[in-house]
Amino acid sequence: MTDSNIDLRVIRTKESIRDALIKLIDEKGFEAITVKDITTKAKINRGTFYAHYQDKFDLMKKCEEEIMLELSSIVKTKFPSVMASLKTESAAVQPFPHTVSVFEYLNENSDIMRAVLGPKGDLSFQVRLKEFMWETLYGDNPFAFVKEESLLVPGQYLSSYLGNAMLGVVQQWLNSGRKESPQEMARILTTITANGPLFAAGIKK
């Protein structure tokens, strides 16, 4: 067992498949990709692809599962403390620390993140990511954001509002070239959420 009982060729093959996938999403969008496209670009035999994955959806799913695991571990380790401070000190103005961590992760993996979250990316992943955010905010966990008695609106809509807003800012950042730093992006997101969009727009005083 040199590395972890895994043949080096497998690693090389899977890496070239993964690289080909990311390039192809950029070029023609996930929808239009064929398995043949992938194997041609990865310079492997088509049969080899089917030895590792069922189809292009299976490949995509396995790439995305890695992302989801890493993202959720970031959130899970840092989110509870954020929620606790929010509830006691009320209305933080500092960027939430877990938000900075998330943007740093997105920044380090920007190639694949831009591919899957971009306009030619994978809708099903975006849906799953939203569901994860929705659950984190509203679902059955002890630190759910939106579980107060004093809600002015139904919690499910507040969760959708916040989750989609945050993801939208992330997508805008990724698609416009990531000119701001993760710290700056976390500040932007926190400012809008803490003060409300109208205040952040300078309309409401």
The residues of the shown chain that bind its own copies, judged by CB under 8 A, are 31, 86-87, 90-91, 119-124, 126-127, 130, 145-146, 148-154, 156-158, 160-169, 171-173, 176, 180, 185, 187-189, 191-205
Q: Which long-range contacts (CB under 8 A, 24 or more apart) does 18-24 make?
A: 18/63, 21/56, 21/59, 21/60, 21/63, 21/115, 22/111, 22/112, 22/115
Check: CB of residue 138 under 8 Å from CB of residue 144. yes
Give burial (CB, 10 Å; 0-12/13-18/19+) of 31. exposed
CB of 20 to DNA, least distance (A): 12
Determine the interface stretch with DNA among 5-13, 92-100, 129-137, 175-183 (rule: CB under 7 A): 5-13
Helical H segments across 43-149, by residue range: 46-52, 56-89, 97-108, 110-117, 123-138
CB of 5 to DNA, least distance (A): 6
Cβ distance to its own copies smaller for residue 101 or 195: 195
CB of 23 to DNA, least distance (A): 16
Q: Does 28 bind DNA (CB under 7 A)?
A: no
Binding site for DNA (CB under 7 A): 1-3, 5, 7-10, 12-13, 34-36, 43-48, 50-52, 54-56
